[in-house]
Amino acid sequence: MAFRRDPLDELVVPDGTEAKEVALETDGDVLVGARSTVEFGVRGRNVLAGESVEFGGDIEAEADCRLDMWCDVADNVLVGQDAYIGERVHIGGEMKVAGDLDIGDDVEIDEGFEANGWIVIRNPMPTIVFLFVYLKQLLLIGEEDAAQRLVSQLVDDEDEDEDAEPTPDPLIVPRNATVSDDAWRVSTPATIGDGCRLHGNIRAESIDVGEDCNVFGSLRAREDVSVGEGTRIHGDLTTRSGDVVVEPGARILGDVSCHDLELGPGAEVDGSIRADGEITMRTTERDLE
């Protein structure tokens, strides 16, 4: 049985994610690995953060919010269901929880908190550790259905029928990452879904950008980079030793530097091209053969 990548070892930006002036907004969950810095606020369904994560704005969770110990939130935390807050967390604004609040020792909330349900003051970390570790093991052994059932149970999802819409993919920020309006810096691969609108230069091991995106910044990777159909990159595209594929109708509003370059029909590069290897310009999709 093939083993899978650790779910927190890749930057994953799901379809339709937008980086607005003050927040990252997505329809699904937000998972942030330990010791990462997100200089935006975040808005999503469930928001879960590992140890020592810093948020530069508000957290707005439609369902649950789970913050591990030593997290720091610059502004408010608004939670639609339950909140689990670890030891020594600091919240710079106020905290409002529609459900239950499970809170650890030495938590600082500058402007106070309120919860409509039970308030339990203790160390809730075993719940968060269980979520991350058990989920990781299920994914490693390929038990994706079991992992989905576990997530549904932990966030108190209602029973889904066959006609229900599928759960949106989560936004995943790996460990030790920095996400800001200036740059998204990770030491892992980065996958960006379709229809995203992002601000900032993206730095990663490899980068795969989906269709019809707008990235207001440059792309830089050590390995391969692919740009989906109809996407606009408002900056340079550089890879240290990898190849670049620009799909039909995509446009790079800057320079491209790579080993091999493949341009689909109607793809455009506004700046200069520096390729150590071959440059291939496809006229039809059959040229891929």
Beta-bridge partner residues of 221: 204, 239
Tell me what pLDDT residue 168 has: 82
Report the percent of the chain where pLDDT is more than 70.
Answer: 80
- As a whole number, the mean pLDDT across the chain is 86
Q: Which tokens is 251 given?
A: 């446009």
3-class SS of residue 146: helix
3-state secondary structure 206-223: CEEECCCCEEECCEEECC
Q: Render 117-141 in DSSP notation, one character per residue.
A: S-EEES--HHHHHHHHHHHHHHHHT
Query: Averaged over 203-225, what is the pLDDT?
Result: 97
Q: Which tokens is 108 given?
A: 């600082």
Tell me what pLDDT residue 231 has: 98
Tell me what pLDDT residue 125 has: 47
Rg (CA), the chain: 21
Q: What is the pTM of this model?
A: 0.82
Long-range contacts of residues 83-90, Cβ cutoff 8 Å, at least 24 apart = 83/115, 84/124, 84/127, 84/128, 85/124, 86/51, 86/123, 86/124, 86/125, 86/128, 87/123, 87/125
Q: Which tokens is 205 given?
A: 């091991």
pLDDT in tens, 32-48: 999 999 999 999 999 99
Query: Averaged over 178-207, what is the pLDDT?
Result: 95
Look at residue 279 and tell me whether its pLDDT is greater than 70: yes
Q: Render 156-187 in DSSP notation, one character per residue.
A: TPPPP-TTSPPPPPPEEE-TT-EE-SSEEE-S
Query: Which band of pLDDT confidence, cut at 50, 70 and 90, is reported for residue 217?
Result: very high
Distance between CA atoms of residues 122 and 246, nearest Å:
52
Look at residue 126 and tell me whether its pLDDT is greater than 50: no
- The total number of residues written for the chain in this structure: 289
Look at residue 155 and tell me whether its pLDDT is greater than 80: no
Tell me what pLDDT residue 120 has: 80
Look at residue 159 and tell me whether its pLDDT is greater than 50: no
Query: Which band of pLDDT confidence, cut at 50, 70 and 90, is reported for residue 4?
Result: very low
Helices (H), ranges, the chain: 125-140, 144-154
Tell me what pLDDT residue 150 has: 60
pLDDT in tens, 65-109: 999 999 999 999 999 999 999 999 999 999 999 999 999 889 999
Instruction: State how beta strands 219-221 and 237-239 pair.
Output: parallel
Query: Averaged over 241-256, what is the pLDDT?
Result: 96
In what order do the strands lie in the sheet containing 219-221? Answer: 108-109, 90-91, 72-73, 54-55, 37-38, 178-179, 183-185, 201-204, 219-221, 237-239, 256-258, 273-275
Tell me what pLDDT residue 149 has: 65
Look at residue 157 and tell me whether its pLDDT is greater than 50: no
| CA 99 to each of CA 29, 116, 124, 236: distance values in angstroms, whole numbers, following the listed order | 18, 5, 16, 46
